[in-house]
């Protein structure tokens, strides 16, 4: 049995296959996912697992050099934005309109659906290198 923190087999496989500058997305339960983007559905019920819990778990194994967020998070979910910044304090943030973020999911290796039920709790992680 795997000893590290990400024990979901689908999620672990996606992270293991990521290269420099590849994209992985984590989002709330309502985010529409393009048909061509694999979806790893972790949602159990409202709020479980939370966006932040899943983000922390992914970051335990994935090196991230940049993140992409919707502009709308600034005004409509500032608490989530502050939590993201606290977890990723030295990572570059690029903001874009939510509509563009949704279209960008086509470029992601996968979308991880959480049980999060707060608006604009969606992120694209750009992988870095560990050397």
In sequence order, what are the residues at sequence separation of 6 or more whose Cβ sits closer than 8 angstroms to the Cβ of residue 112? 11, 24, 25, 26, 27, 39, 40, 42, 54, 58
Does 41 count as an annotated binding residue? no
Assigned domain for 3 exists: no
The one catalytic residue among 20, 74, 85, 106: 20
Mean pLDDT over the full length of the chain: 97
Q: Which two tokens stand for residue 57?
A: 């778990």
What gap in Å lies between CA 116 and CA 30, rounded to an integer? 8
Q: Which two tokens stand for residue 100?
A: 């563009």
Whether the predicted pLDDT of 1 surpasses 80: no
Whether the predicted pLDDT of 2 surpasses 80: no
- Residue 104's pLDDT is 98
Neighbouring CB atoms inside 10 A of 100's CB total 12
pLDDT confidence tier of residue 3, bands split at 50, 70 and 90? confident
The verdict on whether 109 is a catalytic residue reads: no
pLDDT in tens, 93-129: 999 999 999 999 999 999 999 999 999 999 999 999 9
pLDDT in tens, 66-90: 999 999 999 999 999 999 999 999 9
β pairing state of 64-70 and 123-127:
antiparallel
Number of domains, the chain: 1
Range of the domain at 102: 9-127
pLDDT confidence tier of residue 63, bands split at 50, 70 and 90? very high
The interaxial angle of helices 51-59 and 78-87, nearest 10 deg, is: 20
Assigned domain for 23 exists: yes
Does 109 count as an annotated binding residue? no
pLDDT confidence tier of residue 4, bands split at 50, 70 and 90? confident
Assigned domain for 1 exists: no
Q: Which two tokens stand for residue 59?
A: 């970051």
What gap in Å lies between CA 100 and CA 106, rounded to an integer? 11
Does 98 count as an annotated binding residue? yes
> What is the DSSP-derived secondary structure letter of residue 119?
T
pTM: 0.96
Does 122 count as an annotated binding residue? yes
């Amino acid at each position: 049995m795997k000893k590290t923190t990400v024990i979901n087999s689908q999620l672990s496989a996606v992270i293991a296959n990521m290269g420099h500058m590849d994209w992985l997305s984590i989002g709330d339960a309502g985010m529409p996912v393009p048909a061509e983007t694999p979806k790893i559905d972790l949602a159990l019920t409202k709020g479980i697992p939370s966006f932040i819990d899943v983000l922390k778990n992914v970051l335990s194994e994935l090196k991230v050099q940049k993140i992409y967020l919707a502009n709308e998070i600034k005004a409509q979910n500032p608490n989530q934005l502050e939590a993201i910044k606290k977890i990723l304090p030295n990572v570059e943030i690029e903001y874009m309109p939510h509509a563009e973020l949704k279209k960008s999911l086509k470029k992601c290796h996968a979308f991880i659906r959480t049980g999060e039920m707060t608006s604009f709790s969606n992120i694209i992680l750009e992988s870095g290198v560990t050397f």
